[in-house]
Structure 1
Amino acid sequence: MKQEEQQFLNDLDKKLWNAADRLRSNVDAAEYKHVVLGLIFLKYVSDAFDERRQEVEDMLRDEDHDYGVLRANYDSDEEYEQTIREEQEIRDYYTEKNVFWVPALARWKTLRDNANLSPGSKITITNGKKEEYEFRSVAKLIDDALEAIEKENPRLKGVLDKRYAQRHIDASVLIGLINHISEIPFQHKSLGAKDILGHVYEYFLGEFALAEGKKGGQYFTPKSIVGLIVEMLQPYKGRVYDPAMGSGGFFVQSEKFIEQHGGKLGNISVYGQESNPTTWRLAAMNMAIRGIDFNFGNEPANSFSSDKHPDLRADFVMANPPFNMKEWNSGVKEDDPRWQYGTPPANNANFAWMQHMLYHLAPNGSMALLLANGSMSSNTNNEGEIRKNLIEADRVECMVALPGQLFTNTQIPACIWFLARTKQGGKQKELADPNSDKGNNPVLRDRSGEVLFIDARSLGYMKDRILRDFSEDDIRKIADTFHAWRNDVIASEAKQSLYEDIPGFCKSATLDEIKKHDYVLTPGRYVGAVEEEDDGEPFADKMQRLTTQLKEQFEQSDTLEAEIKKNLAGLGYEV
């Protein structure tokens, strides 16, 4: 992103968050994000509709266009203008461009211009024909606007949170919020409306996660972690699945990855599941504002007890499930076909998530999931046996140890597991980078019997006093290492770079080596220590020099201590 674009977005973030945050004391903390994000969604779909509406008008007024309206066919300007207005209300013009049809009641201008009305006032709505709407309250108007959008757009059914009137928010608070959101400029000379809205939405999710602490993490995964996983898996084409999707961060980053590499968003199909109703709505709204076609099931549901995609076999599976979740198996049979590598313990869902994801993985698919570090070494309650079975079945492809302080909601050390149904290799046409040179597309080599270990604990930087983050260089270093190990030839800046073990950072280990470590998958056991640069001084000479230096420092310390005691005694103090 250009510096000017980034500055525009940063200024917009600060302005909107500060404005909205001032209103937070008037709204219950648990409801605040839904109040704000619902209005942001309403503003965006209305702006996108208005943008397309202007395009339709320009097209209709262009007499050389196939759909142009000829002025000569009308007796008066009034009749001609009326025809233009009626044509602009034909929904096919909007749906053909994947723009939500927004009825007149739900358009932002209607909301903004009538928010201050007194109860009982009449609003004239022109939606192809004139209708009257009785205003009761600004909260009821918002609910009715959202209801109208849902009714006109079936894929939003049950997605929008239409409870503004139930929340009993003071009208002045809602009016103030509407006025502030009205200032969101969804137009920029080089950034599209979808890009701006998507950025604002993602920024607000991150701020809410920080404000809510542990609870907020249920719908927000750090962007750099999501970006790292997407860069490593490279989902160019196929079915993408997240069984613990939160607000849909993996899908958003997949979209960005595809756009950055010249692919088409329509090449992927998005499937997800989420048990928390409010988070499920946030995810669906997140997809809707970005124009991503999605299937999140017909309702929020538990992935273990009510799998909404039982027949799905995805090409890419990515997830950040809750760490070490207890009591997850209510309504789940012990002989469930998903537990191919062993029955997960009832007090920890880590290996339940892993096997659920493997079950939904296509024969040539790849998957990644974030788990607590304990998953790499625990031997309690059948976990060690499951891990052993996964390793011996050659499902584990790569292990990445992460630095601490990456998450807003937990300080538990984490790692990333990368698994595959097959590691035999072969040309991956569906994964080929369309921008790469002909004949230089990724060719997966046979990695059977090998596991790549990456220790990334020393990477990253402190973005503030609390949180660590990965830089683009950090992400590139990890991803390029994985691709160099995985591919015979990789399409990147390095061109045809080949993998090499780097002490202290990465190691390609055999299954026999892993067996010698009792099937523990902690990268630190395999990568070893960082090699120190040889300064040319023989070890014996260096030890003699350092020992002499240490002795001199001890003597200086004794001399200093005696001098301090002498001075204190002169002041009348005994030591």
Structure 2
Amino acid sequence: MAKKITKTKSIEETLWDSANKLRGSVESAEYKHIVLSLIFLKFAGDTFEERKAELIAEGKKDFVDMVEFYTMKNVFYLPENARWSYIMQNAKQPDIALKIDTALFTIEQNNPALKGALPDNYFSRLGLDVSKLSALLDTINQINTIADKEHDLVGRVYEYFLSNFALAEGKGKGEFYTPKSIVNLIAEMIEPFEGKIYDPCCGSGGMFVQSVKFVNEHRGNKRQISVYGQEYTNATYKLAKMNLAIRGISANLGDLAADTFSNDQHKDLKADFIMANPPFNQKDWRAANELTDDPRWNGYEVPPTSNANYAWILNMVSKLSENGVAGFILANGALSGDGTEKAIRKTLVENHLVEAIIILPRNMFYTTDISVTLWILNKNKKQRVVQKGDEVRRYRDRTDEVLFMDLREMGEPFEKKYIQFSKEQIEQIAQTYHNWQTNGDYQNTAEYCYSATTEEIRAKDYSLVPSKYIEFVNRDENVDYHEKMTELQQDIVSLLKAEQQSNRELTEVFEKLGYNLV
């Protein structure tokens, strides 16, 4: 008789299954807030107990309740009622939700870096079944969050829940989560070794996390980078602060969750690196008479109200330092088109800011199946010598050139229907880009890459569509058509949804007036 093979569940899968048992009590959209808050408490408790044991071992038992002896090691000091051990002692009590809320509130009050980061009276408001919450606490209690610092267990759980939430909720609900292989690609290309890093729509902070990992993996010093970001949604803003705090990353995300356009939290910032994934084709981002004289548009036409793509671009351009580099994702529609967007695109090209345009494969995002583009802008494309980690790199003058790359045939499958880049592919893509920058072993390659002059781009009427420059031997003429139709279909769906919402609201108004519209 054949032996039955049983697959061992990962910690992430076990946690997801445990959270799933809350179904009926809360919506799946709440899982991440519940589990990530509890994981935060467990991690804070584990690191506190580890530091406390260190102090005792060093003969400093009298100092175990002095806050500064914890903060000096980037550890959160926890009063007794905020410790994980206290939570577990009371896990079966009917007021456990209140005790969890009190613990979160107490930690925030005692650690200024967490101001505005933790949920406020969240568990009490949910009205969770005590037995289900207790069972979830038991599962989390089995996790040693600091056993394997190198593999970042807590970070894995964060990423798993954020990506699973994006998968479960579908279109429009994954904006706070950028697939990790795309973030890794941006980091490997723009190389944020030191200086100020900015993300104007930072979501849960994934760009910052991968930036710090990049620095660590290349033997850099994360103390040589500083992080600035902004997030519009309050719940996601809190997630970002928790996510970064749990990894020991100090960040300035502004005083509150706020819209980057109408309430810029970093008006005077000049960043050395920008990494971003703005909302695709964001409509009605400003009223017709608002922000028309905003200093961020200086030297450019005012971005149209119908689409925020170029508003995001100009916001980032305004934040770049003298040698600043930006890598960000946009829908392919921003590569071409007429009117105001074309005028802005022309000025970007003539100002020699566009360094590379890289079209990505379809099905990389949870929220859309269309192919999207990675833009790289560089304020200094001139010849220069730069220290990059342990390497001294000599850049050639690429002021009058733009590198185009087409990666639509690259990638490997994951999660059955999605595509991601392998580590080897990321290294290959980044190496091509760096070879082009430095006049290394670079050459134009059919169906992969082409270095176009500004004159060639002028001749193409300032279109930045890579297929207009890269040579294709066996080109599928239906590819671009299919992508344009997909984007158009998405716009139609958005309009239909907006109309349905308006009809529902109108129906409610009439029903309140006593009319039955059936």
Common topology (TM > 0.5): yes
- Deviation of the 1:213 alpha carbon: 1.2
Residue pair 1:243, 1:303 contacting (<8 A) in 2 also: yes
Residue pair 2:193, 2:225 contacting (<8 A) in 1 also: yes
1:367 is aligned to 326
Which of 111, 114, 121 aligns to 2:87? It is: 111
Residue pair 1:242, 1:271 contacting (<8 A) in 2 also: yes
Q: Whole-Å Cα distance in 2 between the matches of residues 50 and 311 of structure 1?
A: 41
- Deviation of the 1:271 alpha carbon: 0.2
Q: Whole-Å Cα distance in 2 between the matches of residues 464 and 194 of structure 1?
A: 21
- Tell me which amino acid in the other structure corresponds to 2:218: H
Which of 300, 323, 342 aligns to 1:341? It is: 300
Q: TM-score, normalised by structure 2?
A: 0.87
1:210 matched to 2:186? The reply is no
- Deviation of the 1:193 alpha carbon: 7.7
2:36 is aligned to 37
Q: Describe the SS at the equivalent of 1:164.
A: helix
Matches within 5 A, 1:77-476: 84=61, 86-117=62-93, 137-162=95-120, 163-188=122-147, 191-192=148-149, 195-330=152-287, 332-339=290-297, 340-379=299-338, 381-429=339-387, 432-434=388-390, 436=391, 441-476=392-427
2:3 is aligned to none
Q: Whole-Å Cα distance in 2 between the matches of residues 332 and 192 of structure 1?
A: 48
User: Structure 1 residues 242, 10: CA separation in 2 closer, same or farther (over 3 Å shift)?
Assistant: farther
Which protein shows a greater Rg?
1
Q: Whole-Å Cα distance in 1 between the matches of residues 52 and 470 of structure 2?
A: 59
1:47 matched to 2:46? The reply is yes
Q: Describe the SS at the equivalent of 1:315.
A: strand
1:516-566 deviation digits (Å, cap 9, x = unpaired): 11111111111112599xxxxxxxxxxxxxxxxxxxxxxxxxxxxxxxxxx
User: Structure 1 residues 215, 171: CA separation in 2 closer, same or farther (over 3 Å shift)?
Assistant: farther
| Segment drifting more, 330-339 vs 519-528 | 330-339
Q: Whole-Å Cα distance in 1 between the matches of residues 67 and 415 of structure 2?
A: 48
Residue pair 2:382, 2:398 contacting (<8 A) in 1 also: yes
Q: Whole-Å Cα distance in 2 between the matches of residues 215 and 42 of structure 1?
A: 29
Residue pair 1:48, 1:193 contacting (<8 A) in 2 also: no
Q: Whole-Å Cα distance in 2 between the matches of residues 391 and 466 of structure 1?
A: 36
Which of 438, 442, 451 aligns to 1:499? It is: 442
Q: Whole-Å Cα distance in 1 between the matches of residues 70 and 9 of structure 2?
A: 31
- Deviation of the 1:29 alpha carbon: 2.8
Q: Whole-Å Cα distance in 2 between the matches of residues 353 and 426 of structure 1?
A: 29
- Deviation of the 1:422 alpha carbon: 2.2
User: Structure 1 residues 332, 45: CA separation in 2 closer, same or farther (over 3 Å shift)?
Assistant: farther
User: Structure 1 residues 317, 10: CA separation in 2 closer, same or farther (over 3 Å shift)?
Assistant: farther
Residue pair 1:407, 1:467 contacting (<8 A) in 2 also: yes
2:22 is aligned to 23
Residue pair 2:447, 2:472 contacting (<8 A) in 1 also: yes
| Segment drifting more, 211-220 vs 50-59 | 211-220
1:477-534 deviation digits (Å, cap 9, x = unpaired): 111111101124xxxxxxxx421111110011101111111111111111112599xx
Q: Whole-Å Cα distance in 2 between the matches of residues 24 and 481 of structure 1?
A: 48
Q: Whole-Å Cα distance in 1 between the matches of residues 97 and 219 of structure 2?
A: 43
- Tell me which amino acid in the other structure corresponds to 1:521: L
Unaligned runs of 5+ in 1: 1-7, 61-66, 68-83, 119-136, 489-496, 533-575
User: Structure 1 residues 232, 530: CA separation in 2 closer, same or farther (over 3 Å shift)?
Assistant: farther
Q: Whole-Å Cα distance in 2 between the matches of residues 194 and 468 of structure 1?
A: 23
Tell me the matched-pair count: 466
Q: Describe the SS at the equivalent of 2:66.
A: coil
User: Structure 1 residues 14, 192: CA separation in 2 closer, same or farther (over 3 Å shift)?
Assistant: same
Q: Whole-Å Cα distance in 2 between the matches of residues 242 and 48 of structure 1?
A: 29
- Tell me which amino acid in the other structure corresponds to 2:165: F
- Tell me which amino acid in the other structure corresponds to 1:19: S
1:515 is aligned to 458
User: Structure 1 residues 265, 343: CA separation in 2 closer, same or farther (over 3 Å shift)?
Assistant: same
User: Structure 1 residues 89, 193: CA separation in 2 closer, same or farther (over 3 Å shift)?
Assistant: farther
- Deviation of the 1:17 alpha carbon: 2.2
Identity value in percent: 44
User: Structure 1 residues 522, 204: CA separation in 2 closer, same or farther (over 3 Å shift)?
Assistant: same
- Tell me which amino acid in the other structure corresponds to 1:501: N
Q: Describe the SS at the equivalent of 1:215.
A: coil
- Deviation of the 1:332 alpha carbon: 3.6
1:12 is aligned to 11
Q: TM-score, normalised by structure 1?
A: 0.78
- Deviation of the 1:224 alpha carbon: 0.4
Q: Whole-Å Cα distance in 2 between the matches of residues 424 and 187 of structure 1?
A: 45
Q: Whole-Å Cα distance in 1 between the matches of residues 311 and 366 of structure 2?
A: 24
